[in-house]
Structure 1
């Protein structure tokens, strides 16, 4: 990053936010910050190189410039897992789009570019929101401890441990029903002992709010366009646009210019193209995510937990996403290809001519040799 350019465009704060986020995250679908180098002109963040480029370029190389539904399910599941994690850290991403989803050497994704992200103020006092479980489990940590019972014990519990932060964290109670594997009482039908509650871990920064006008025009949520203020629900709106674009090769509300695009986002009803034919589950998921009222949007209250239960993800093993076979694995790259990549990696910033808080809508210069 050019330090003078950041100063001239008043972007130092956003660069600082991105660095703080990269220093905080530790997740297989997010960048790992290996080091920082500060010079007189340049500020450098050292992260992993992704030889697969980004999903925008990869989509352009698919038949009819769109992914198969199976490939969409794979990529979206990993994006949902990444968003769930950063929401647990009280971070709203706000800039999901195919250009910001890179493909690692093993074919799995890396969600990048956090300069538009909304990060909570750690100095603001906010009480924790944890509903304790009155039922104790023999030999297991109590509900008031810092441990979560792993999903292999109670299948509906998210496979994430508690992280420091101020998001609303609670364990939702449901009546126990049969599940796969053996239950806590050793029964083969997966049933729980009488009186033991099925637990679900929920972490969503519902109290985080902003009035900023940030994002990419075609992906902006209606509440951002209308200036009503927004929170974490905008990430689930952008997820709906993201899924739509991967499936159909276009975004649903794009107009002939940015002004018309914004008008369409606020007023136009969602319509699905006749071609290609996609499953009713996929259309239902997109419809639920693209609810114009953020309070009625899928994921608005319980976050990723509600999205992961949707029928579109039937068959997805959320605990073993890293073990799933990717739809595409990039070929080994040479030093020449790596050099040609230029700024196409995680540290890529918007061009100097972009609006201050708007992402670059153009396709990044990812070398075609990647594919």
Structure 2
């Protein structure tokens, strides 16, 4: 039975529902745009600052400090709403908006989903990355749990793809989105997290056009003490296609011609020990940072059917290589408008994933580099899959990403920047955690 939070959330039963802020959240995005006209966000508005001001004045944040504006969508374990922090006010600042994921604890217990909700919260608390969510706070009482994260007014890449000519992106756009996902997955793997649910619906577009990977309730997280060992390696990584030369790691950024991109990733694990670079004889082509949770394994059957890796379908157990498989399906879908193994029904799709060979449509014309990358990522044997041993280091070296300035991705001009976003008036009615109900999916 769904629990309903009325938009006038001042009722006494919610007065003690407090929100705990996380000091690690920073750099909150402010000016928000979308493809549909909605509330104007004033530059400089920061949900983190708004929460801190409320904490300073009241000692806590109650759910009554939030006003529901619009239901954004629903998932397996909760519903997401666009909400406003009502009492941030003062100083002439703009409206402070957040995405609020509301979950019913009783529903989670009854469906044996509590562990997934707990894992998602723990993962969000760990994250500090430009292409991953910022957790502003968490509100809960005896019945509800509510996660407050950044609102991305540009919607998701599935909806954005539907609006493109032919319902597909050109290679420049695909390279941009895929590159940002590669470093996001790299960061997660460094923390000992396997994402496991990559698909366009889970990739949101921020107001500046850069992406945010969201929805971690299917992710697998290693326990403390079991995080991957970070190390530096030399020489070219094995790849299904000719690797790029060392010149690709010293490309100048388009915006900063004199800036040389380092060959070593700038993302480091907060946990785990790093080994010293191995002493190798002979000439080298630079050092690369590698940290993959290769020892993290699961037998769970999780994910979205068209994106499931063969080892998951076959029940053989899986590790971090499933994320590189899903990246291959993701790139294929963005380029061609369909997934590579889709069948007439779910059973046929699963059979195709395990047994059918990879085929490329004749139209649209796609570069050989793109096809080679997809072929390397969609190798059915996870041990031979691109990225299976050295992870993102191998994927980054592929010629499809030639010229990408990995350390300066945030400087790149996005292929699509959402139009100005505005919110009209107040609320739309109710916040509900009934994830089975139909929701207007205009953004998520």
TM-score range, shorter chain: 0.7 to 0.9
Q: How many residues align?
A: 317
For the aligned residue pairs, the C-alpha RMSD in angstroms reads: 3.0
Correspondent of 1:24 among 117, 126, 136: 126
Distance 1:350 1:292 in 2: 37
2:193 corresponds to which of 60, 82, 91: 91
Counterparts of 2:434 and 2:364, CA distance in 1: 33
- Larger strand percent: 2
Change (3 A) 1:130 1:51: closer
Change in CA separation of 1:233 and 1:171 when aligned onto 2, cut-off 3 Å: farther
How many angstroms apart in 1 are the aligned matches of 2:275 and 2:425? 44
Q: How does 1:92-241 map to 2 (within 5 A)?
A: 92-122=194-224, 128=229, 130=231, 155-165=262-272, 171=277, 175-177=283-285, 198-241=286-329
Unaligned runs of 5+ in 2: 1-102, 235-251, 253-258
- The residue correspondences of 1:32-51 to structure 2 (distance < 5 A) are 32-51=134-153
Q: Which ranges in structure 1 are unaligned for 5 or more consecutive residues?
A: 134-150, 178-197, 354-361
Deviations 1:284-330 (A, max 9, x none): 00000000000000000000000001010111100100010001111
- Distance in 2 (CA, whole Å) between partners of 1:65 and 1:33 is 32
Q: Tell me if the contact between 2:232 and 2:287 (Cα under 8 Å) persists in the aligned partners.
A: no
Distance, in Å, in 1 between the alignment partners of 2:275 and 2:404 is: 24
Distance in 1 between the 2:104 and 2:196 partners? 23
Whole-angstrom distance in 2 between the partners of 1:231 and 1:251: 22
Distance, in Å, in 2 between the alignment partners of 1:331 and 1:131 is 42
1:244 matched to 2:346: no
After TM superposition, the structure 1 = structure 2 runs for residues 292-371 of structure 1, keeping only pairs within 5 Å, are: 292-336=380-424, 351-352=435-436, 365-367=440-442
Deviations 1:24-46 (A, max 9, x none): 01000000100010033321111
| Matches of 2:229 and 2:196, distance apart in 1 | 24
Higher relative contact order (CA 8 A, sep 6+): 2
C-alpha change, 1:337 and 1:302, in structure 2 (3 Å) is: farther
Asked if structure 2 preserves the Cα contact closer than 8 Å seen for 1:83 and 1:93, the reply is: yes
TM-score (norm 2): 0.66
